[in-house]
Amino acid sequence: MAARFAIGLLLALVTWAGLRRMVGAPVIGRRPAPLALDALAPLLGFLLFTLATARPIVAGIGIVALGIGLGVADRVKRAILDEPVVFADRAELLEVVRHPRFYIAFVGTAQMVAGTIAIAALVAGILRAEPPLWHLPLLVQIGLAALAAAIGRAAFVVPASAVLRGRLAGYYRSFAPTGDPEIDAKALGLLASCIVHATLASDEREPRRAAVRARGLPAWPKGVGPVVLLQGESFVDARRLHPDLADRLPHFAQLRAQAALSGRLTVPCWGANTIRSELAAVAGIGPEALGLDRFNPYEHFAQAPLPSLAQAAREAGCKAIFVHPYARNFYARDKVMPMLGFERFIGEEAFVDAERDGGYVTDAALARFAADLIAREGPDLFLFVVTIENHGPWDGSHDHVLPSPLPPSWQVPDRKTIGRWLRHAEATDAMIPVLRGAIEQHGKGWLGFYGDHQPSLAGAFTGAGDRRTDYALWPVGNAADPRREDIAAEDIAGRLLGLMASRPAR
């Protein structure tokens, strides 16, 4: 019994040491408190697995499997998104189960399936080979497993009590965390860093919300006509990549030339995490205001009433509608959008029969739907449209349609992949005249357009050194004096309201 327990414990400790080495933290640190906190997860996990299975070696292998999974997730996330695993990624676990195509394709379906089968076979084999430490009736063993799961969950959930949470946060601040996940992982360990960040984020959340509410947004002007804000998935002006691509997105080029304001847009993400740009643009809330909630603002921060363009529009007597042709519960948008003031959220249920490309509802179908909505709802409307067609990965699932050819002189690591991205960017570009035409039917109105982030593609994008996207704010009748200004995503709401108030659309 003692030998098996020692083997299982050793497996858990080796896994923990491996995670520390992976992020550059010393295996034996000079600060005992952060070191103990970092070791808490694997040690407690091992004990709870043992309680649930009565097999310590199996429990140790379970910790190894979780450690490998965490290591793979960190490696993939760094490679694809240039960002390490952070505490907010715990919310991704449910999304992986509910929306696997968004995640598995980046890891590799074959690798994921093979790894899962191998781990399952190994655990099943050892379950048969390792006799249990104790024999209990099945119902009692199920009860122990449930108890272990409940204890494990309670141990790693931030306390609900504000007093206890505040004291814990105060203690964790003595570790001197910087808020940078990479720096703090090296100083505290990956697991301790996640625990500390989760607690501090929860402790700071309500004061940060209060500050956002106190700041608010300017009032929505009367009689400006329909206002449409369009967020383009993975959209960036192609001419920034190569001069010969200047004519590939003609409608955005025209929109920019006729816009009241346009330029490059600093966004709080690269390659993914659309919701960060989404919240920033519609609510004027950037990373600094969010603090540690910046990694996933929809998990907690935005699930409470917040000022936004939608709220401002409704206070002025306009309708506020959000359209995104995907699952309503993805990233909890079904809970967030009402808190931002949207009275209607139209999701994938409205696009059951719509054409798809690469598995996603096409931008052409989305543009037609939005144009019909603008015509039907009238001039007193704020419509926020978020596209999805150009979501990666740009792999073989897109091969049924040839990618856009690239200039022969442009040498990039994967011409076919970037060609697929460009073809979808052209589809997003083609939405612009459809929406402009629908808005112009009312004689006045505004169209705001921006890219949520650059695509997670190598070579041309990662080598550019400029991770900004592009935006334009256009009034019906065109701007008399177009102005260029490079801004951040959280500036869009304020700039748009200011333009609407100072120079109403004609």
**Same domain? 320 vs 198:** no
pTM for this entry: 0.90
**Same domain? 358 vs 249:** yes
The 10 Å Cβ neighbour count of residue 354 is 16
Per-residue pLDDT of the chain (506 residues; tens, 9 = 90+): 789 999 999 999 999 999 999 999 998 877 899 999 999 889 988 988 888 888 899 899 989 989 998 998 898 888 888 889 999 988 777 777 676 766 665 555 555 566 667 667 766 776 677 888 878 787 777 787 787 777 776 666 787 788 889 999 999 999 999 999 999 999 999 999 999 999 999 999 999 999 999 999 999 999 999 999 999 999 999 988 888 888 999 999 999 999 999 999 999 999 889 999 999 999 999 999 999 999 999 999 999 999 999 999 999 999 999 999 999 999 999 999 999 999 999 999 999 999 998 889 999 999 999 999 999 999 999 999 999 999 988 887 777 777 888 888 887 778 888 899 999 999 999 999 999 999 999 999 999 999 999 998 866 665 456 889 999 999 999 887 899 999 999 999 999 999 999 875 44
**Same domain? 142 vs 259:** no
**Same domain? 450 vs 495:** yes
Which of 200, 207, 194, 209 has the alpha carbon at shortest distance from 301?
209
**Same domain? 135 vs 235:** no
For residue 203, give the amino acid letter. Answer: D
**Same domain? 197 vs 265:** no
Last residue of some domain: 211, 232, 259? 211
User: Into how many domains does the chain fold?
Assistant: 2
List Cα–Cα distances, 245 to 124, 315, 409, 410, 472, in angstroms. Answer: 55, 43, 12, 10, 19
CA distance 25 to 452: 33
Its domain, for residue 38, covers 2-211
**Same domain? 17 vs 148:** yes
CA distance 487 to 227: 20
Last residue of some domain: 211, 233, 251? 211
**Same domain? 322 vs 399:** yes
For residue 264, give the amino acid letter. Answer: R
Q: Which helix (H) or strand (E) holds 122?
A: helix 109-129
CA distance 389 to 231: 12
Helix (H, G, I), strand (E, B) or coil at 202: helix
Which of 427, 436, 339 has the alpha carbon at shortest distance from 387?
427
CA 370 from chain center: how many Å? Answer: 24
Last residue of some domain: 211, 241, 275? 211
Is residue 309 within 8 Å of residue 282, measured between CB atoms?
A: yes
**Same domain? 174 vs 251:** no
**Same domain? 121 vs 247:** no
**Same domain? 182 vs 328:** no
Helix (H, G, I), strand (E, B) or coil at 216: coil
Q: What is the CATH number of the domain that holds 461?
A: 3.40.720.10
CA distance 437 to 429: 14
Residues contacting residue 164 through CB under 8 Å, at least 6 positions apart: none
**Same domain? 159 vs 258:** no
